[in-house]
Amino acid sequence: MLSIGFFIQAFFLGLALSMDCFTVSITCGLQKTLSKKRTLLMAFFFAFFQALMPLIGSVFSSFAFDFLESMTSWISFALLFIIGLKMFLEGRNYKLKEKVFDVSSMKVILLLSIATSIDALIVGISFVGMGWVVGEQLLAIVLIFVITFIMSLTGVKTGEKVNFIKPPFALITGGLILILIGVKTILQHYITAA
């Protein structure tokens, strides 16, 4: 029988994991280039990878915890930094008639999905330490998917509603936010390792 404590813990875990996706979704919504279909696609891929990574982590929890922990932080940082820097530079060199950084492209959506979710590998590894059996782990993964999907949709819609931010500023701000999320990932790794 699943306890209320499990649901509370799994819900807040899903909410915490979805925060990076929520923030990135806001920056993507600010660009005003996402169609309804692409918005749903972005939310799906953010949620899919956010749920997939803990699943992979739980499957491989018996292998090289320290190696995975250090690698995921650096991979996440590198992806977010590269995408963020590209957005920032395009915002600095913005020209009205030029095609700007396209957050609606599948390549960008997939890279952002991986970058914002890769640190969730460690969460999956910790499932066993939480005392969760396989059924509880799978339910937690479903909750993570649902929460991230909803938060990503909310983020995009929030960004789209903000009309006073112009495209160059949105690109610069979005790029800086992605870089800061990447830096936060590295700092969290070294703070928890200390």
| pLDDT 10s digits, 30-89 | 888 899 999 999 999 999 999 999 998 888 765 655 566 667 778 778 888 888 888 788
Q: Under a CB-based contact definition with an 8 Å cutoff, are residues 50 and 144 in contact?
A: yes
pLDDT higher than threshold 60 for residue 100: no
* Residue 49 vs residue 186, higher pLDDT: 49
Average pLDDT, integer, range 118-122: 79
Q: Under a CB-based contact definition with an 8 Å cutoff, are residues 156 and 26 in contact?
A: yes
Percent of the chain at pLDDT exceeding 90: 25
pLDDT higher than threshold 70 for residue 8: yes
Local confidence band at 97 (pLDDT 50, 70, 90 cut-offs) = very low
User: What pLDDT score was predicted for residue 120?
Assistant: 82
What pTM, to 2 d.p., does this model score?
0.77
User: What pLDDT score was predicted for residue 93?
Assistant: 78
